[in-house]
């Protein structure tokens, strides 16, 4: 496995590697990321992973500074997962000058996560487009825990006709249901015991809707009040259509229930897809 830090090293290393699959990350890797590598590996001769904490996608009061940087440990995990190339640039390498051009995502950027994190998806789309231009993969893997991010990037690739297949990966969970996330490391022991409630509530919503419940507002309010009763600060729990995260019509078959809520200082997100018959 080669670890490269500069754009020129990366380009040199990949010059003879047209068949590559890409997994962009911000590091602090966990089993959820390793699952992305497992999906990536059989798809190409060369698996490329980037590790870059992208300032552009963090709001001024978010956790950019305290986001864990664990390159040594990450490299060991990636070596074990059979990754071929790790691209770990510093900020000056990715943004040698102020990034005055940006990718402006669709209306998706103004709802849900976008409404709570203004500018977040512009930052994500801008860095991912840049990384795509550097790595030039034929496919890239994104986890569905960040459901809205996956949709933004899928739509970006389609609308700009980028020759890249976006492959979604299922969320990996701890045995108690908590979706794996780098931010789980911020949870205290007590909060960690409470955290699986988020997924439990989404599963209840899933069971209700699959069983015929159609009063989505009631379901959403129930989940929000359960969270609030147990010390959470919910941003949203909402049932949407999968295609564009708009509110579903009564006959919509492909739904997703998405949630974001703060537990102490940690903001957790999760979602569950539903395919109605």
Total residues at interface with ligand PAF (CB under 6 A): 10
- Residue closer to ligand PAF (CB basis): 98 or 189: 98
Residue 54 touching ligand PAF (CB under 6 A): yes
Residue 113 touching ligand PAF (CB under 6 A): no
Residue 33 bears catalytic tag: yes
Q: Which stretch binds ligand PAF (CB under 6 A): 22-30, 59-67, 157-165, 172-180?
A: 22-30
Q: How far is CA 166 from CA 23, 40, 185, 215, 274, in A?
A: 10, 11, 28, 33, 21
3-state secondary structure of 211: coil
Q: Which of 96, 182, 193 is nearest to 143 (CA)?
A: 182
- Residue closer to ligand PAF (CB basis): 74 or 146: 146
Write down how long the chain is: 277
Residue 270 touching ligand PAF (CB under 6 A): no
- Residue closer to ligand PAF (CB basis): 168 or 208: 168
| Element housing 13 (H / E) | helix 7-14
CB of 189 to ligand PAF, least distance (A): 25
Q: How far is CA 139 from CA 42, 50, 146, 239, in A?
A: 12, 14, 18, 30
Provide the annotated active-site residues: 33
Residues lying near ligand PAF in the complex (CB under 6 A) are found at 24-26, 54, 57, 124, 127-128, 146, 149
């Amino acid at each position: 496995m080669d670890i490269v830090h500069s754009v020129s090293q990366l380009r040199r290393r990949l010059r003879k590697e047209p068949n590559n699959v890409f997994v962009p990350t911000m590091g602090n890797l966990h089993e959820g990321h390793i699952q992305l590598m497992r999906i990536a590996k059989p798809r190409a001769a060369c698996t490329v992973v980037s590790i870059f904490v992208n300032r552009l996608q963090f709001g001024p009061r978010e956790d950019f500074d305290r986001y864990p940087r664990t390159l040594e440990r990450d490299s060991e995990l990636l070596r074990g997962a059979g990754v071929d190339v790790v691209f770990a640039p510093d900020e000056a390498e990715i943004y040698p000058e102020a990034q005055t051009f940006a990718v402006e995502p669709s209306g998706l950027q103004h709802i849900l996560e976008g409404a709570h994190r203004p500018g977040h998806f512009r930052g994500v789309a801008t860095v991912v487009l840049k990384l795509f231009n550097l790595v030039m993969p034929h496919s890239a893997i994104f986890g569905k825990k960040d459901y809205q991010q996956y949709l933004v990037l899928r739509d970006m690739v389609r609308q700009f006709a980028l020759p890249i297949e976006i492959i979604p990966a299922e969320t990996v969970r701890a045995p108690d249901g908590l979706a794996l996330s780098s931010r789980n490391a911020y949870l205290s022991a007590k909060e960690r015991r409470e955290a699986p409630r988020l997924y439990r509530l989404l599963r209840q919503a899933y069971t209700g809707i699959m069983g015929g419940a159609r009063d989505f507002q009631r379901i959403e309010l129930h989940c929000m009040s359960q969270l609030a009763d147990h010390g959470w600060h919910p941003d949203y729990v909402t049932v949407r259509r999968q295609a564009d995260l708009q509110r579903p019509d009564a006959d919509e078959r492909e739904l997703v229930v998405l949630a974001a809520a703060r537990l102490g200082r940690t903001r957790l997100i999760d979602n569950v897809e539903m395919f109605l018959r």
